[in-house]
Amino acid sequence: MTDSTGSASGRAPAVALTGITKRFPGVVANSDVHLTVRSGEVHALCGENGAGKSTLMKILYGMQAPDEGTIEVNGSPVRFKSPAEAIKAGIGMVHQHFMLADNLTVLENVVLGAEDLHGIGKRARARVRELAGATGLDVDPDTLVERLGVADRQRVEILKVLYRGARIVILDEPTAVLVPQEVAELFDTLRAMRADGYTFLFISHKLDEVRAIADTVTVIRRGTTVGTVDPSTVSSRQLAEMMVGSQLPSPETRTSTVTDREVLRVENLTLRTPDGRALLDSLDLVVRAGEVLGVAGVEGNGQTELVETIMGMRRAATGRILLGGKDVTRSGTLARREAGIGYIPEDRTRHGLLLTQPLWANRILGHQTRRPAARGALLDVAGARLDTERIVEEFDVRTPGIDVAAASLSGGNQQKLVVGRELSGNPVLLIASHPTRGVDVGAQAAIWDHIRAARADGLAVLLVSADLDELIGLSDSIKVMLRGRFVADADPATVTPEDLGSAMTGAGEVDAEGHLVVDRTEEGDKG
Amino acid sequence: MTAKLRSSLLAPALAIAFSALLCAIALLISGANPASALGVMIGQVGEGQVAVDIVNSTAIYMLAALAAAIGFQMNLLNIGVEGQYRIGALVAAIVGSALVLPPVLHWLVILLVAAVAGATWALLPAILKVTRGVHEVLSTIMMNAIAFGLAAYLIRRDQFGILIGNNVSTEPIPESGQVPGIDLGARGTVFGLVFLAVVAAAVYGVVMKRTRFGFELRASGESPTAAAAGGVNAKRMIVVSLLVSGAVGGLVGMPEILGRDHAYTLNFASGYGFAGLGIALLGRNHPVGIAFGSLLWAFLEKAKVALDNVGVPREIATIMQGAIVISVVVAYEIVKRMDLAAEQRRVGRALGTAEPAEADAGGAR
């Protein structure tokens, strides 16, 4: 599966980070991080969202300065003040979100900002062709970037950093936006380039991909590196345990509380982009009172769109959404919330909180028409404050008071506040999008407990999560989503994360009723 | 609470001190004595009708700044207050002179007409913004240009203009439509509509702090995405806030028209709308801040005449106004960041943290 990596012994490591610590006000993002990347290897950096991967890469790339610790590149200590200096030292970074000018050609995008290397004319073109040929990053230099698909855009981004002389390339979650075949192509490219002596730092939290491509894996958890392993000698399970910590809190629900009262019914829901591509393709689902319906899928396969359409933040092209038998397809977000939908958004800082406002003002958001936060058109500040105190108490939000700004809480405590607010006012349906993303283990267990308790009280929950253990543990049934469709159903009592994982990439087998075929014999050794 | 008060006073104090320093330097370079320049400006307040003029101007600036602040609350830059108040004043003057109504009711109707006219002038930018995504800065600037042209046309003598003395104006508003002021004899007359500005500021303050509308407005301003997820209808908020902003903008000319001129004349003052934008920034959209900002603005505006007497160019007051606004914007941003960082540290200390990094999340404290 993975090639051997012997060649590097004796040479200085391409990158050596020693004792890196970075503090932000109130938070330590990285603490005593050690990372050694040998020259000519693909080194994966694994960790959950919020574990501190991005901060570490920003430090290596010169976007932020570490408070403590040293960085060595090819054996010599460096101190980058800006990405420009990192580039000069041969380090390039491909960001998760592409930074390309749509209205320029591939060549122009590659050369933009690096005109002094090879000019903008023939020499530049020759150099781009040479790089493209040598690395198999095959894109026509004269095509406009707006015509390119996602995979080609990524190639252009890689070409950009190579053109600037990078020999060490940081790839920030490069597969998040790709479909499986494109991932395979990307990995072929990386293997070929590795043979040419390029070094890669591959950031990901997808363990199967990490195991497929990496020569070495370093796991980072809550800001610090917990170990470096050879992926061929450990299982995905062991890696996962390193990522979440040894205690691995169990989210299991067991005793079924599912009733036969339908709370949410979605029929034939289709959502299109302005140019007609289907983001959601004829989806049907039913969530009953006391039931948790889990939606699994690689991020970017329509889960966000599904949730936002059910919340009324996007308008479906066709289909119906019924809440408790009432058609809410045409209702706005506020009307849906008033009808009893609670919403834990996937990105709490963008969609869940007013960061500079105090906690009690955040309690009002989404409840601005209802008691105890409001009385008619007037806000009930006293009522909101009192209820915020209750949430802080019940949900164990660690804060010195309810007058501090939401931004000054840690991620886990912000999330507990959001969960507490969304479970307020007796909702009938909870839409939970990655409810424990980027929160510490203690907060994670607490949030699971609260969701479980609410479910026992008859709450219907639609749970979208990238954490397969969470999905399997909390859900009463699971649907697998791929490219805007539900491609399989799975029973959480029998399915394993590995089964789900392969179904999410379209590799799973499905029987006549749409149920995932679970084959116990091939456990753990795919590929 | 006192810490909060201190930091909210710190920024404007710093800004005013800094801009005063800038002006002092400018004065020294031009060879004048800053202390004596300030002295004559303060002395000017005691002269003739200047004090009353300052009070009257303060009210006008307050209305303009409130109009701008309503937009600012949700990051809408209504540059169009300038055009909205001109159209509001003109339409109100024309309609007011044609109506026959009992006192009080007459001028109440005129105020309503002015507000509706101002809101109407803001309607097109609002529609363009929510349907076509046209930025309100561009559309309101263009509406300003149209307002100037339209006003110049409507006041022609073949339209609604008549010649009074050697000035062209609209038909005068009859006495029933005039708002009586407080006559202080030789000191001048305080416009009755000064109280309109005070009431408007108070209503604005209550609406922003205590009502659902104000909450939704501020939430949309802080985070449109979080507001949308919280059920705030972004398009509706844009339309409503621009219309309300335009309505308040339409009232800006009313203290002068109903309290002094009783008609829209060729000499109708311009520039209040733009001043309002600066004052709203200076007062950080807070009603009390806006009141003080307006007072400072009015003082600089009315007292600068005296500078000529001591051989200082009066434009130095204009420089000072600009310097204050820029310094305030910068100072607020700095103080805001310092406050947030300090609060994060305080929360961290209170919880004994480094929570996400150190292992035992359960063991904090």
Q: Other C-beta atoms within 10 Å of A130: how many? A: 10
How far is residue A509 from each of residues A505, B301, B314, measured CA to CA in Å?
A: 11, 79, 83
Q: Is the pLDDT of residue A253 over 70?
A: no
Interface predicted TM-score (ipTM): 0.79
Contacting residues of A for B235, CB less than 8 Å apart:
none
Classify burial at A250, counting beta carbons within 10 Å of its beta carbon; exposed 0-12, middle 13-18, buried 19 or more.
Answer: exposed
Q: How far apart are CA A420 and CA A427, in angstroms?
A: 11
Measuring CA to CA, how many Å separate A383 from each of A297, A378, A398, B205?
40, 12, 21, 20
A26 touches chain B (CB under 8 A): yes
User: Do B254 and B192 meet the contact criterion of CB atoms below 8 Å apart?
Assistant: no
Q: Which of residues 200-229 of A touch B (CB under 8 A)?
A: 222-224
**Chain A residues near residue B211 by CB distance under 8 angstroms:** 377-379
pLDDT tens-digit profile, chain B (365 residues)? 456 666 667 777 787 788 888 888 888 887 778 888 888 888 888 888 889 999 999 999 999 999 999 999 988 999 999 999 999 999 999 999 888 888 889 999 999 999 999 999 999 999 999 998 899 999 999 999 999 999 999 988 888 888 888 888 888 888 888 888 888 888 888 898 999 999 999 999 999 999 999 999 999 988 888 998 988 888 889 999 999 999 999 999 999 999 888 889 888 888 999 999 999 988 888 999 899 999 999 998 888 888 887 777 778 788 878 888 888 888 888 888 887 777 777 777 766 544 433 333 333 33
Task: Find the range with the poorest average confidence among A183-192, A306-315, A500-509, B37-46.
Answer: A500-509
For residues A50 and A47, give the distance between their C-alpha atoms in angstroms, rounded to a whole number.
8
DSSP H/E element including B214: helix B212-222
CB-based contact, A294 to chain B, within 8 Å? no
Percent of chain A having pLDDT more than 70?
88
Domains of chain A in start order, with CATH, are 6-244 (3.40.50.300), 249-340+426-527 (3.40.50.300), 353-425 (no CATH)
What does the pLDDT read at residue A7? Answer: 43
What residue spans define the domains of chain B?
12-24+33-339
Q: Is A50 on the interface with B (CB under 8 A)?
A: yes
Residue A472, CA distances (Å) to A442, A475, A496, B248 in order? 19, 6, 8, 57
pLDDT value, residue B207: 93
Q: Does domain B12-24+33-339 have CATH number 1.10.3470?
A: yes
The residues pairing with A494 across neighbouring beta strands, listed in sequence order, are none
Question: Residue B111's pLDDT is what?
Answer: 93
Inspect the interface and report whether the beta carbons of B356 and A23 lie closer than 8 Å.
no
A249 and chain B in contact, CB less than 8 A: no
CB–CB contact B229 A352 (8 Å): yes
Chain position carrying tokens 């335009």: B246
The mean of the pLDDT values for chain A is 82
From the list A313, A354, A366, the residue facing B223 with the nearest CB is A354
**Whole-number pLDDT of residue B93:** 92
Cβ contact A408–B226 (<8 Å): no
Which has more confidence, B147 or A282?
B147
Which tokens is A426 given?
A: 């007796």
- Chain-chain contact of A442 with B215 (C-beta, under 8 angstroms): no
Q: Which of A179-188, A481-490, A499-508, B99-108 has the highest mean pLDDT?
A: B99-108
Count other C-beta atoms under 10 Å from residue B134's C-beta: 15
B354: chain A residues, CB-CB within 8 Å: 23, 27-28, 31
Give the count of beta carbons closer than 10 Å to the beta carbon of residue B288.
12
Percentage of chain A lying above the pLDDT 90 cut: 8
Residue A453 in this model has a pLDDT that exceeds 90: no
Residue B340: which of A31, A366, A405 has the nearest Cβ?
Answer: A405
Q: How far is B51 from chain A (nearest CA, A)?
A: 39
Q: What is the pLDDT of residue B352?
A: 56
Q: How many of the other CB atoms lie within 10 Å of CB of A93?
A: 23
For the segment A365-386, the average pLDDT, to the nearest whole number, is: 86
Q: Which of A91-95, A123-127, B136-140 has the highest mean pLDDT?
A: B136-140
The answer for residues whose C-beta is within 8 angstroms of residue B359's C-beta and 6 or more apart is A222
Top-confidence residue, B317 or A37: A37
Its sign, for the CA torsion B147, B149, B155, B158, is: negative
Non-local CB neighbours of A64 within 8 Å, separated by 6+ positions:
A22, A55, A58
Query: Among A127-136, A175-184, A308-317, whose mean pLDDT is lowest?
Result: A175-184
What's the pLDDT at B148? Answer: 93
In chain B, residues with a C-beta closer than 8 Å to the C-beta of A350 are 223, 225-226
Phi, psi torsion values for B134, nearest 5 degrees: -70, 130
Q: How confident is the model at residue A1 (pLDDT cuts 50, 70, 90)?
A: very low
- Check the CA dihedral B207-B212-B216-B219 and report its sign: positive
Q: Please give the pLDDT value at position A343.
A: 92
